[in-house]
């Protein structure tokens, strides 16, 4: 595990250095990902079942964080994991677009995104993904703890703690940047071939028609109480 963690860190670092050449607007958004580390985060009774197999086994009791300082270490781990996933996804997306255009990048995304999410989850000892009120990939459905925040379209970060286990959970908004329009914009902004590629992969897609600056969705991260990150 340690060997593979290091190798993943090298990959993530390579992707991160690439992102330095991209605009902050692009960095505010992560392009293609399947936001699921392994299983579904969607049911409150199954929230321990995904990439971090040692997660929750008892009924969750989520409440807002009342002492922000008390979760500083978990928040830092969430931020690190989100940054790693973001860098890796964005690096691979940009490389795929460069190599073959947007329509073929959709295929790359569909295959690499779930793997990246799993790698980051394993490496960082968290559960992580992305979700939306207008999903492209139905597997990216909303974790149970995030449902209220998604319903009210939370435009600011949300932090919750599970009284039952001490797991920290956070949701952070993702806004649409100009480079996203080619795959998430209105019909006249979609790149060549994207409509057909989406119809093939995601017949129930609801993730086009966004404008720059729109709330596209959220990153979510769950960080267990124990500091078990294998770095
Ligand atoms: C090459 C086309 C492409 C581009 C460009 C792109 N996306 Fe996506 N996006 C996808 C695909 C394909 C998925 C579904 C991937 C999956 O989860 O399997 C997706 C999924 C998502 C999701 C996860 C929620 C869901 O609906 O499944 C979010 C959030 C998202 N994109 C935001 C963005 C943002 C923000 C940008 C701009 C930085 C962007 N995307 C650029 C193709 C693209």
Residue 229 domain-assigned (yes or no) = no
Task: Tell me, in angstroms, the distance from the centre of ligand 1 to residue 100's CA.
Answer: 17
Residue 231 domain-assigned (yes or no) = no
Q: Return the pLDDT at 78.
A: 98
The predicted model scores a pTM of 0.81
Residue 230 domain-assigned (yes or no) = no
Q: Is the CB–ligand 1 distance for residue 129 below 6 Å?
A: no
Q: In angstroms, what CA-CA distances link 93 with 54, 71, 163?
A: 31, 32, 38
Range of the domain at 92: 2-223
The pLDDT profile of the chain, 231 residues, written as one tens digit per residue, is 444 444 444 433 433 333 333 443 344 444 444 444 434 444 433 343 344 445 545 688 999 999 999 999 999 999 999 999 999 999 999 999 999 999 999 988 898 888 898 999 999 999 999 999 999 999 999 999 999 999 999 999 999 999 999 999 999 999 999 999 999 999 999 999 999 999 999 999 999 999 999 999 999 999 999 765 455
Minimal-distance CA residue to ligand 1 atom 13? 32
Please give the backbone phi and psi of residue 223, each rounded to the nearest 5 degrees, phi first: -120, 120
Contact 67/73 with Cβ under 8 angstroms? no
CA 139 to centroid of chain Cα atoms? 12
- Nearest ligand 1 atom to the CA of 134 is 26
Residue with tokens 């978990």: 74
Contact 174/29 with Cβ under 8 angstroms? yes
Rounded Cα–Cα distance for residues 182 and 186 (Å) = 9
Tokens of 24: 């902050």
- Nearest ligand 1 atom to the CA of 174 is 35
Contact 158/60 with Cβ under 8 angstroms? no
Q: Is the CB–ligand 1 distance for residue 19 below 6 Å?
A: no
Through-space distance between the first and last CA atoms of the chain, rounded to whole angstroms: 9
Contact 14/90 with Cβ under 8 angstroms? no
Tokens of 2: 């340690």
Total domains present in the chain: 1
């Amino acid at each position: 595990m340690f060997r593979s963690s290091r190798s993943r860190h090298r990959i993530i670092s390579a992707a991160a250095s690439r992102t330095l050449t991209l605009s902050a607007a692009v960095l505010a958004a992560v392009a293609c990902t399947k936001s699921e580390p392994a299983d579904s985060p969607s049911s409150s009774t199954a929230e321990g079942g995904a990439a971090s197999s040692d997660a929750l086994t008892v009924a969750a009791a989520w409440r807002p964080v009342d002492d922000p300082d008390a979760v500083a270490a978990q928040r830092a781990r969430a931020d690190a994991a989100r940054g790693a996933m973001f860098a890796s996804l964005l690096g691979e997306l940009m490389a795929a677009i460069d190599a073959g255009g947007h329509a073929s990048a959709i295929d790359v995304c569909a295959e690499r995104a779930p793997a990246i999410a799993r790698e980051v989850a394993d490496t960082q000892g968290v559960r992580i993904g992305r979700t939306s009120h207008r999903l492209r990939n139905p597997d990216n459905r909303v974790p149970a703890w995030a449902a209220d925040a998604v319903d009210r379209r939370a435009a600011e970060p949300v932090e919750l703690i599970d009284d039952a286990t001490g797991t920290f959970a956070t949701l952070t908004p993702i806004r649409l940047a100009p480079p996203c329009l080619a795959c998430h914009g209105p019909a006249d902004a979609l790149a060549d071939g994207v409509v057909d590629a989406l119809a093939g992969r995601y017949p129930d897609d609801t993730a086009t028609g966004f404008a720059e600056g729109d709330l596209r969705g959220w990153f979510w991260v769950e960080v267990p109480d124990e500091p078990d990150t294998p770095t």
